[in-house]
Amino acid sequence: MFSRFPLSSLMWCYFLLAFLLVANSTQAKIYAVVVGVSNYQYSVVPNLTYSDDDAYAMTDYLNTGGYHEVVRLTNSQATKANIISTATSLFSKATKQDIIVFFFSGHGTEGAFVPYDTYDYASMLSHSDVKAIFKQSKAGLKVCIADACHSGSIKIPKRNNTNNTSGLQSNSEVVVIMSSRPTEVSAEHPNLGRGIFTYYLLLGFNGYADSNRDRNISLLELFNYISYQVSNYTKDQQHPIMFGKFNKDATFITY
């Protein structure tokens, strides 16, 4: 297995996650579920190489920032039922001043992420499943990040539904960052030892996205950095997307 992404000791970051948008931010607790699937149970789904490493790297990052509780599910742990039950239980602890984070790395298709035990479309983790979990949580800020093919299709509204966040938004602040547009694949690369999106996401978290060098990274700065780096590395074949209900200029990370 490829070694985990090394984070510079000079650049340890901690998530503020748009504290300007959350009341009593200094009291906020953060609950995160991190999922990575490289090895799939059934041969109908080809294995990946680095998605579990993406999850380890993301967990390592989150744990450096004083997060209240982070649960990582990789490979055989990441069944559809276990993802849903773990996220539902953990996110139910959040109150209005708290933050929830869901991260997924693995296969994706239009309208769904692909958990370990997928054998047909019905056994996938649908975007509707994720939205339902988010909707149930009382967290004041909800963050959903995915490194998966066609992940941008989470923005496509259901028929006769004009709300393009379709349950993710509710009355909370919501940040959704997906690795690719609805029609695009999301690549991993051995030179990076990571999904390309996750690699640049973590670099962005660790200060590389700070375009004006003020040690505060806004959502716009973060997205601009990731978008440029991923599209450049993939020769314009993959384009991350970001949407939700948030102030794009608010501080997202301080380091």
Higher local confidence (pLDDT), 165 or 204 = 204
102: nearest Cα among 154, 46, 160, 27: 154
How distant, in Å, are the alpha carbons of 57, 178, 241 from that of 147? 13, 6, 11
Look at residue 14 in the predicted model and tell me its pLDDT. 45
User: Scanning the structure block, which residue is given the tokens 């993710």?
Assistant: 168
Q: Average pLDDT, stretch 46-71?
A: 90
| 83: DSSP letter | H
User: Scanning the structure block, which residue is given the tokens 């992940």?
Assistant: 151
Q: Average pLDDT, stretch 21-39?
A: 77
User: Are 62 and 34 within 8 A, CB to CB?
Assistant: yes
Look at residue 255 in the predicted model and tell me its pLDDT. 83
Q: What percent of the chain is predicted at pLDDT more than 70?
A: 83
Higher local confidence (pLDDT), 64 or 198 = 198
User: Between vectors from CA 48 to CA 44 and to CA 50, what angle results, nearest 5°?
Assistant: 160
Confidence of residue 170 (pLDDT cuts 50, 70, 90): low
Look at residue 28 in the predicted model and tell me its pLDDT. 81
Q: Average pLDDT, stretch 193-205?
A: 97
Confidence of residue 179 (pLDDT cuts 50, 70, 90): very high
Residues 204-235: tens digit of each pLDDT: 999 999 999 999 999 999 999 999 999 999 99
**Cα-Cα-Cα-Cα dihedral sign, residues 129, 76, 109, 182:** positive
Name 103's Cβ contacts closer than 8 Å, sequence gap at least 6: 32, 33, 34, 35, 55, 58, 145, 146
User: Are 33 and 90 within 8 A, CB to CB?
Assistant: yes
User: Are 35 and 104 within 8 A, CB to CB?
Assistant: yes
Residues 131-160: tens digit of each pLDDT: 999 999 999 999 999 999 999 999 987 554
Residue 82 has pLDDT above 70, yes or no: yes
User: Scanning the structure block, which residue is given the tokens 């991350």?
Assistant: 240
Residue 109 has pLDDT above 80, yes or no: yes
Amino acid at position 215, single letter: R
Outline where DSSP puts E strands in the chain.
14-15, 30-36, 69-74, 99-105, 108-109, 112-113, 125-126, 141-147, 173-178, 188-189, 194-195, 216-218, 241-245, 251-254
Look at residue 168 in the predicted model and tell me its pLDDT. 59
* Helix 219-233 and helix 196-203, axial crossing angle in degrees, nearest 10: 140
User: Are 250 and 15 within 8 A, CB to CB?
Assistant: no
Answer yes or no: CATH 3.40.50.1460 is held by domain 27-254. yes
Looking at 19-151, list the stretches that DSSP marks H as alpha helix, in order from N- to C-terminal side.
51-64, 80-91, 127-136
The full set of domain ranges for the chain reads 27-254
Q: Average pLDDT, stretch 114-125?
A: 98
